[in-house]
Structure 1
């Protein structure tokens, strides 16, 4: 069973948050606010925050810029994970991923099922890795962002979490790039 190991010290992650919306401004971004509040409350550092329209190329370009920034460990996006024609965040993420974290979407669906029942099938939340950076695409609802953070990310982004976590393997995410 998972637990926090008190013998390990907390290692803060440097996190960027991107809201994807055709209708909201940064001032109206409640989901982004939820993520920022939760990540800072957990002891992590907010490095950047932006909002972009639902444009696949623009989203992928921003993800690539942040993945190239050595000051960013994790990117959280909110919005654009649904099924409508304008929902392109998942495709933008997959344009950038080197590896997809398949189980993230599965576990997110399991968490969502407990909260919203079969409506959980309408989310395409995803996670992946690119250039040594973790990327997670979360739905645009503040409730879904709370669920993703509280049930998955707060634990996996905590070095003290056992039996394993994303932070402890972070130094090895880009080892294939250094083996040349």
Structure 2
């Protein structure tokens, strides 16, 4: 039996991608903030950007370069319409994609919304030692992703493994030899 670990708070930025949302009516962003703060993590930054690929990627790159941000979670723009470019913007930034994230999110969604889950393109990756997650724009999808995937994976105490314990190794390839 292994020794119990102490909780380690993670510094998380929340990005809402929308042409219409404002801070007053950003229900999905609010859902993520409530969940992450309720879990004991720190809200490191928050922003709303329009559904523009370059603007989304620029904000993600800015946050990846910020040593006070460990994780960036975006909500919105993961669907199939012409304006849904969040996934492409995320992939413009990724050094490595976390392929299984979208699969696991689809499994979680299937249990909630059935075959409608096929319409989401939720994705995740790593860049500059920062985790990046792209979630759909509905509060229920944000709740499902947080409760079923992110909360355990962003908790250092979660076994057998979690994202937090490998933070120090995410950018080891950038160290001098």
Which band: TM-score by shorter chain? Answer: over 0.9
Aligned equivalents of 1:78, 1:51: Cα separation in 2: 10
- Deviation string 1:31-67 (CA, Å, 9 cap, x unpaired) is 0000000000000000100000000000000000000
Q: Which runs of 5+ in 2 are unaligned?
A: none
Residue number in structure 1 paired with 2:52: 55
* 2:15 paired with 1:37: no
Aligned equivalents of 2:176, 2:118: Cα separation in 1: 40
Aligned equivalents of 1:179, 1:35: Cα separation in 2: 37
Residue number in structure 2 paired with 1:97: 94
Q: Which runs of 5+ in 1 are unaligned?
A: none
Residue number in structure 2 paired with 1:28: 25
Task: Give the C-alpha shift of residue 179 in structure 1.
Answer: 3.4
- Residues 6 and 44 from structure 1, CA distance in 2 versus in 1: closer, same or farther, beyond 3 angstroms? farther
Residue number in structure 2 paired with 1:138: 135
- SS, match of residue 87 in structure 1: coil
Moved over 4 A (4+): none
Aligned equivalents of 2:75, 2:64: Cα separation in 1: 17
| Residue of structure 2 aligned with 1:160, choices 129, 152, 157 | 157
- SS, match of residue 113 in structure 1: helix
What TM-score do you get using the length of structure 1 for normalisation?
A: 0.96
